[in-house]
């Protein structure tokens, strides 16, 4: 499965040298970092062929099915107007991250 990074969740960009380490908002693991990249930071920058010097932090587990389901749950929990349902979604995401196993095999068909 291709790794699709989600800015602000399992992928972050910062000005060079301003951040030592970052943790993935999906799984909590310390993220990998590529430093002093001179390339577009966002899609619009790529279209405009604008390069910006930056550090890029990313989670190595992004392409794993369990990580993708945990991301989907955390993102939905963040957007849902119910605190109770959001807590339940985050609790399930916590269990997925702990076991590194998805809890539902057909969850991708629902999105």
Model confidence pTM above 0.85: no
What's the pLDDT score for residue 103? Answer: 93
pLDDT at 44: 54
pLDDT tens-digit profile of 97-108?
A: 999 999 988 766
The per-residue pLDDT for 23 is 97
Contact 27, 67 (CB under 8 A): yes
The pLDDT score that the predictor gives to residue 46 is 56
Measured distance CA(9)–CA(100) in Å, rounded: 17
Domain ranges of the chain: 11-58, 65-100
Element (H, E) at 90: helix 83-99
Q: Identify the sign of the CA torsion 78, 73, 14, 48.
A: negative
Strand 52-58 versus strand 32-39 pairing type: antiparallel
User: pLDDT per residue over 2-60, tens digit each?
Assistant: 577 888 899 999 999 999 999 999 999 999 999 999 876 665 555 667 778 999 999 99
Residue 64 has what pLDDT? 92
Between 51 and 69, residue with greater pLDDT: 69
């Amino acid at each position: 499965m291709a790794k699709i990074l989600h800015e602000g969740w399992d992928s972050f960009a910062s000005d060079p040298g301003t951040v030592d380490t970052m943790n993935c908002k999906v799984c909590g693991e310390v993220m990998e970092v590529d430093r002093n990249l001179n390339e577009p930071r966002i899609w619009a920058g790529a279209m405009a062929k604008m390069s910006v010097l930056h550090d890029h932090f990313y989670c190595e587990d992004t392409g794993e099915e369990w990580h993708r389901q945990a991301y989907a749950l955390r993102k939905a929990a963040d957007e849902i107007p119910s605190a109770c349902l959001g807590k339940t979604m985050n609790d399930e995401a916590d269990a997925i991250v702990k076991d590194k196993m998805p809890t539902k095999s057909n969850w991708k068909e629902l999105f």
